[in-house]
Chain A
């Protein structure tokens, strides 16, 4: 799959008299990446970064405003509902909350078999029962699960049902949108292991969308970091996690507490000032400039392109580079006066 200049804008009516203040949210802006067979690309970012919208665009739940999505050479960005039907078989999606995507009135067996009614050439009817058992076994559910209803299962098991249902059509690509975020830690690990095992066995590609950086690192071969609809950095998991060159990636990595932190001085944390800017009015130039501690005048004027900039992997920062001497040595209250501010919040956050 190749994605080129993918852009999605949502028109928004701001509340106001006569609704004159129409605005546009740039949910996804000029995003490009490739996804190879059997590969996992992780998309990380905060709320409003556009990661879920990218997932929805890839499976045809949204139509792009601009840009192209090519699947095995075929442009699929503007297919009709009917044309999608053939492709649906190859591109599937797994959601965060499987409960809302599984009809409560159908047994697990019926849920798994439902796609075969539409795609009636895939599994001959006499093989349905056997194939269902195979799928249940493949995702680690007991064989008798087929006769039960979704509400009779725990969250982790329901996610397995969702995965079995996605697998029923033997897809080549699965878009996983926060598939383990709602699960407890010990159950999370079971589902992550299941996804990696299935990838090995079936050579599926994953687009893995999540906000948990550790989970994404574990499962992904390559990782793209998103901020306000744009990719700010993309590379192999080691490149992004160990040689991050974009200040947002660096801040994100340092902001997320990890169990490794028990051995690290907590003072090394970069706490970003402010919150995400209004997506209807992103700052001019670099969209991260309003929160960046390395900001220069140029950043506020000129949007940085996603380029290698002397590193092995591209970064969308004019001043891409390794993190400067971490402010660890200074006491916390002094740090606030330097470039890296601590808990103070910028004015723009609420305007």
Chain B
């Protein structure tokens, strides 16, 4: 018996250690409902309270216990146990209940639980998706299960429970195509007969998986329009043959045409002029630019020249980074072997022994960094973000994170340029591009 006890204690220690080793990026308030442990994202919890004597509201849903005056604010009180059909202990009239006051977007309300436990910090990646056979609470309201110190916590998705609409819309924006949405998508040709559509969805699903597995290309709202258009082209290209991508070469073929103009070379005249035209008017003397996923650096040099032309007196600083060491190592010392530089770049280049390279003041404007955009980005607030075709190669969750980081780093009147076939049609962004340049500003 004692031994077993020790083993558990040791296990707990090991667990704790493991947990400490991982980064804590998710905290939840834990509580008990009918003897089971649950958690709610701490970001949704405004405070913890004990209260009773709720004012009964006639004709409300059975799980609404009434309303309560929380320091002058009238909030609804929901009994989570009744809501989930769990046994609830009936307390005496006037006894105090354990309340979690939640805030979701701008709505505040209270939920009654059996017992409030503590705050537990975990790593987001340790949350496991709920298993569909879970009983008690409808699975779609469960965000996941997590183990902490040998206890299992069911994490409730309160946004989904209490704000069903808002959450679903948000999920859709990123999530893989949902058939209902696909039908509404204007890029899907209307001439496809319904029976085909079901097959297409299946084929599309497999292609998505193949692209992710073979080339790390993640389909999401960011590139969905292109992906579907390409699928129609793909059907023509394969003309009746198997549509599936079985190896890297086929995936490359599918992705052909996805990449923005002038990937891996200096930007052409018409492209760079279009780029210059969308640059924001900047008042300050210094112009900060963030160029994640700059690859071999052609993009960065092109951007630097365009900026120099647009803001001749500005102090330009470009933070260009890529997580491919080989590519980024070549970027700072780029030498070109052409006889005469292209017209647009001529004034910014000098001829050396080995060929043409960029002028010192252009070089001084760029910091090429070996950096992974998924790690902490320590770039200053930026007037311009140029990130072409990089987001699509991150998994959808990371895409979300990076786009949020863009929103945080971009100055108020700044502009974010994304790949030609990428769209940031997400909440908080509005188009700011023209023709061949796809750009967005903060709404």
A and B are interacting partners: no
* Interface of B toward A, CB cutoff 8 Å: none
